[in-house]
A and B are shown apart, each in its own frame.
Chain A
């Protein structure tokens, strides 16, 4: 016989799971219906691999962003970190004759170091995170151009280094990083401090949490996780060219929609899982637009509009509640003898 509190817990768990799964399910159903109506195929056996690649690539960027953005540290340098980590890591792995795992390790280590440098700059300069990250994005982009003669990294014709996007490895990598991040975010001392600092900086610092060390670790983790996205892109295209003039920002931008969806769903699960669901939602939207034959530029516009719309709704939830309450009050006034009900 199940006791009442346990039954309530199970009911809550089922409700939360249903809410979390309803979002990607709704997106899938909408695009499936539209694709059937327009005579297009939504997700086929051939496009499924692309979909999975897209989900993990976007997911890694969003997971990386989640260490800083929810804490109020907007980071423009993520795209530049991804490119530079892939260029340096790829060249080091190539020079050492390493395989796909070696490439992954090199890129992750370089990404972590670059992230720590960005975090160190933020802590030392004590400027707004957005300002520091803008400067760091310019500096990291400049290094991507100045190193290796401006050639970036070309691994075309080196299939043994590019196998990380093949079927078992991509799933192992994705699930492995997901599990590690869930443990780090929810069951570690760092994760506790990180969540506390995100909720209230001043109080947490007064409790004795080392804010500066936590910020540097956050930036370093962000660099390491987003560098994996760089490995996936490098493994798919075989090249990573240098970037200049803040052209790395669109790469960072890909992680925003899943991040904000994840943050909204965090109350029904936890943030890392929410972001994964957000990445699935973004992947479904991207596949849907591609199935409908929309050009990449149009997809970018629609993604940006959807993201902006999502942020508008998220920021103005209180306003929406006030509006509903005011409408309800007006209705009650209209339904009574002209005086508001007590």
Chain B
């Protein structure tokens, strides 16, 4: 009898270890997803998708998405939701382009892009934190205001072209350095700084965070500040890459970032499982998916359909074990 009890106790003590090991293994699923996406498209396109030209293209597009997604991870980890990221990037790129044309000074243009990204992001963050508004309401209003504002400045069909292009910044080396710095700093902030840890607690439960003495106002403002820096840097890289800004610049970027974060394995409600790697892996997964489907000749409609379906499937799989009996609102 005693032996049986001991074996039960041993099984019980082993259970959390097995579960932890399983959870550790599950953390690699998004990375596996990225490898599978690249491999599948490499087979279907008979190696075209992994040609040096396409890989460079993938890196060029993926880095911009990854930089903005990394910054916005701080917002998403709190359980906040930003659908205005694409519009903010467009506005920051527009201001950068206008300043670059006016001053012909790259540093000033970069600062202008950064200030615009930070400013717009902080307005949203302040409205959410101070007035206690739902983040999707504020960012929806911001999306409307910025989209209309950009149309008002440059018109719906025309665009702003750089008089002296910034192609010297559109190199793989520059982008990799920017990405490495952003990811490095964000990882340190997220894992070792109080901000990252408290953001996860807020994402888990605002009530617990409040009673633990965490300032939700301060965390929200800091998170939106970091997101704004990501937007500003991403907008500058986008401007260097395209050389022009129109009303449609970054139109699909906003949703791509949300899909990227989800594909990277971060829960859309934030919390303890939030991590910076989700933004990087997800950004390259969605870029590889877009690139692969385009190489296969998929129309924009098919491309969007696949993204929509993938988004719903991945979010469902992520929360499969945590679904509630009542419908979630």
Selected contact of B304 from candidates A244, A249, A308, CB within 8 Å = A244
A139-B308 CB under 8 A given contacts A247-B251, A304-B144: yes
Task: Determine whether the beta carbon of B326 is less than 8 Å from that of A297.
Answer: no
Interface assignment of B23: CB less than 8 Å from any CB of chain A: no
Q: Which of A42-73 contact B (CB under 8 A)?
A: 71-73
B94-109 near A? 1/0 per residue, CB < 8 Å: 0000000000000000
Nearest neighbor of B307 in chain A, beta-carbon distance? A138
Bound CA span A219–B68, Å: 34
Instruction: List, in ascending order, chain B residues with CB within 8 A of A150's CB.
Output: 299, 301
B252 within 8 A of partner (CB): yes
Q: Taking CB as reference atom, which chain B residue is nearest A132?
A: B312
Is B138 an interface residue, CB under 8 A from the partner? yes
**Is B315 in contact with A300, judged by CB distance below 8 angstroms?**
no
Contact A146/B315 with A126-B327, A126-B328, A301-B145 known, Cβ cut-off 8 Å: no
Query: Which chain A residues in 141-191 approach chain B with CB under 8 Å?
Result: 141-146, 150
**B161 on the A face (CB < 8 A):** no
Instruction: Place the interface of chain A in its size category.
Output: 35 or more
SS of B interface (majority): helix
Is B43 engaged at the interface, CB distance under 8 Å to the other chain? Answer: no
Interface residues as binary, B268-286 with A (CB distance below 8 Å gives 1, 0 otherwise): 1100000000000000000
Find chain B residues with CB under 8 A from A131 CB: 268, 312, 315
Which single member of B152, B307, B323, B326 contacts A201 (CB below 8 Å)? Answer: B326
Q: What's the nearest-Cβ distance from chain B to residue A340, in Å?
A: 28
A275 to nearest B CB, angstroms? 18
What are the residues of chain A within 8 A of B268 when measuring CB–CB? Answer: 128, 131
Taken residue by residue from 301 to 329, chain B's Cβ proximity to chain A (1 for < 8 Å, 0 otherwise) reads as 11011011101100110010001101111
A125-B316, A245-B252, A316-B131 known; A307-B304 Cβ under 8 A: no
Asked if A242 CB lies within 8 Å of chain B CBs, one says yes
Given contacts A138-B307, A205-B326, A311-B137, contact A145 B300 (CB under 8 A): yes
A103, CB-defined interface residue at 8 Å: no
Contacting residue for B302 out of A142, A201, A303, A305, CB 8 A: A142
Instruction: State which of A126, A242, A311 has its C-beta within 8 Å of the C-beta of B323.
Output: A126
Kindly list chain A residues whose C-beta atoms are within 8 Å of the C-beta of B302.
Answer: 142, 146
Counting chain A CB atoms within 10 Å of each CB, the highest count among B131, B151, B301 belongs to B301
CB distance A250 to B312 under 8 Å? no
Q: How far is the CA of A161 from the CA of B307 in the complex (A)?
A: 36
Contacts A74-B136, A128-B329, A311-B133 given: A136-B308 contact, CB under 8 Å? yes
**Per-position contact with B for A69-82: 1 when CB-CB < 8 Å, else 0?**
00111100000000
Q: What CA separation (Å) do A123 and B316 show in the bound complex?
A: 12
* In the complex, chain A residues whose CB is within 8 Å of the CB of B329: 71-73, 128-129, 201
In whole angstroms, how far apart are the Cα atoms of A297 and B248 in the complex? 15
| Closest partner residue, chain A, to B306 (CB atom) | A142
How many A-B residue contacts, CB cutoff 8 Å? 142
| A215 B305 Cβ-Cβ under 8 A | no
State whether the Cβ of B93 lies closer than 8 Å to any Cβ in chain A: no
Q: What separation, in Å, do the CA atoms of A247 and B144 have in the docked complex?
A: 10
Chain B residues lying within 8 Å of A297, measured Cβ to Cβ, are 148-149, 151-152
Would you call A135 an interface residue if the criterion is a C-beta within 8 Å of the partner chain's C-beta atoms? yes
Chain A 201-213 against B: per-residue CB contact (8 Å), 1 yes, 0 no?
1100100000110
* Cα–Cα, bound, A145→B301 (Å): 5
Residue from A138, A212, A247, A315 within 8 A of B305 (CB atoms): A138
Chain B residues within an 8 Å CB radius of A143: 301, 305
**Interface presence of A96 (CB below 8 A):** no
Write out the residue numbers on chain B whose beta carbons fall within 8 Å of the beta carbon of A142: 301-302, 304-305, 308
- What mask results when residues 287 to 330 of chain A are scored 1 for a CB within 8 Å of chain B, else 0? 00000000101101101110110011001100000000000000
**Bound CA–CA A135/B311 (angstroms):** 6
The residues of A that contact B311 with a CB separation of less than 8 Å are 134-135, 138
Docked pose: A139 CA to B309 CA in angstroms: 7
The bracket for how many chain B residues form the interface is 35 or more
Query: Are A307 and B141 CB-contacts (below 8 A) given A125-B316, A135-B312, A312-B131?
Result: yes
Contact A245 B144 (CB under 8 A): no
User: Is A125 in contact with B312, judged by CB distance below 8 angstroms?
Assistant: yes
B308 and A138 contacting across the interface, CB-CB below 8 Å: yes
Cβ contact of B140, chosen from A138, A139, A253, cutoff 8 A: A253
- Say yes or no: is A246 at the interface (Cβ < 8 Å to chain B): yes
Contact with A along B130-170 (1 / 0, CB 8 A): 01110011101101110111011000000000000000000
When distances are taken between beta carbons in the complex, the residues of chain B under 8 Å from A125 are 312, 315-316
A35 within 8 A of B: no
Whether B81 is near chain A, meaning CB under 8 Å from some CB there, is yes
In the complex, whether A121 has a CB less than 8 A from a CB of chain B is yes
In the bound complex, CA of A128 to CA of B120 (Å):
27
**CB under 8 Å from chain A, chain B span 60-98:** 81, 83
The reply to whether A245 and B305 contact each other, CB–CB distance below 8 Å, is no
User: How far does the Cβ of A248 sit from chain B's closest Cβ, in whole Å?
Assistant: 12
Whether B301 lies near A146 (C-beta < 8 A) is yes
CB pair B308–A135 under 8 Å, yes or no, is yes
Once bound together, how far apart are the Cα atoms of A253 and B146, in whole Å?
14
A142–B305 CA distance with the chains assembled, in angstroms: 5
Give the distance in Å from the alpha carbon of A303 to the alpha carbon of B312 in the complex: 31
Supply 16 A–B pairs (Cβ within 8 Å), ascending by A.
A125-B312, A127-B316, A132-B312, A134-B83, A135-B312, A136-B308, A138-B308, A145-B299, A245-B304, A246-B83, A246-B251, A250-B147, A253-B140, A304-B141, A304-B145, A304-B148
Supply 19 further A-B pairs (C-beta < 8 A) apart from A246-B255, A300-B145, A305-B141. Answer: A122-B327, A132-B312, A134-B255, A135-B315, A136-B308, A138-B304, A142-B305, A146-B301, A201-B329, A249-B144, A250-B144, A253-B144, A298-B148, A300-B148, A304-B145, A307-B141, A308-B137, A312-B131, A316-B132
The 10 lowest CB-CB distance pairs between A and B, nearest first, are A138-B308, A145-B301, A72-B329, A142-B305, A300-B148, A135-B312, A297-B152, A146-B301, A304-B144, A139-B308
